[in-house]
Structure 1
Amino acid sequence: MSTSIESVSARVHDAVAAYAQALDAGRIGDLADLFWPDGVAEIAGIGTFEGQEAIREGYASFVPTQPQLHLVANTVVTSWTEDEATAVSNLAFFQRGDSGWAVQLVGRYDDTLRRQNDEWRFQRRVTTFQP
């Protein structure tokens, strides 16, 4: 089966967007399902979660208590094969408080995604923050 960069890029963008949507809605189970069973989520200054159950438990402390929004932009597929892709994205995290929406942090995602059959999931997601 031949996989084009356009097809890979579309699937990577879908996974990146699904992650942000699930995180902002507090759907931690859906977020963990975006990773392979042996997937890894590494968040600078917070921790590394290995495996879906650890990801589910680790992200449970991130369930929103007020409206929030992760804006992810400039996603670029940096390398790809038929079964694996790496990508980098910029992110800005907003929360809504009494005075409206405010940027809480900016950062970057460095991703490795793997494909099995027609399903692309995160193998590793590294989140870093900009000072």
Structure 2
Amino acid sequence: MTTATEASTTAHVQSAIGAYAQALDADRVDDLVELFWPDGVAEIAGVGTFEGHEAIRAGYAGFSPTRPQLHLVANTVVTSVTGDEASAVSNLAFFQRDESGWAVRLVGRYDDVLRRRDGEWRFQRRVTTFLP
């Protein structure tokens, strides 16, 4: 049985994950950076590991969309909740639109650790991997 605290944590985790996808697709890098703690880490397989706000901002600034795009995140499961820390795993499908319509460009997975400080949940570590 899920407790009210677990349900609340799950809602906060899912909200952060959704906000990340929305910010990334809308090229709102500053909003995306604010979803991480100042000492947070974003690791993207084959691209790099960005630690801290300035490194995350610089890393994601290189991903500015050149055409309409959409990150669909699904099947999010909060795998662990311990006090002020939660872990989650999600599936990812990345779509881009060109002259022939929308197409899946890649699929992958997010492995997340979020922490709560002063009542606010943010990413401590996000690892993005891609499936062949």
Name the CA distance, whole Å, in 1 between partners of 2:71 and 2:88.
17
Deviations 1:11-69 (A, max 9, x none): 00000000000000000000000000000000000000000110000000101111000
Helix, strand or coil at the partner of 1:4: helix
Match of 2:15 in 1: 14
4+ runs deviating over 6 angstroms: none
Provide the alpha-carbon RMSD of the alignment. Answer: 1.1
Helix, strand or coil at the partner of 1:62: coil
Instruction: Give the number of equivalent residue pairs.
Output: 130
Helix, strand or coil at the partner of 1:65: coil
Per-residue deviation, 1:4: 1.1
Gaps of 5+ in 1: none
Contact 1:3 1:82 in 2 (8 A): no
For 1:1-131, what aligned pairs fall within 5 Å after superposition?
4-131=5-132
Name the CA distance, whole Å, in 1 between partners of 2:54 and 2:32.
11
Helix, strand or coil at the partner of 1:12: helix
TM-score for both structures, normalised by structure 1 = 0.97
Per-residue deviation, 1:117: 1.7
Gaps of 5+ in 2: none
Helix, strand or coil at the partner of 2:46: coil
TM-score for both structures, normalised by structure 2 = 0.96
Per-residue deviation, 1:82: 2.5
- Percent identical across equivalent pairs? 74
Per-residue deviation, 1:3: 6.6
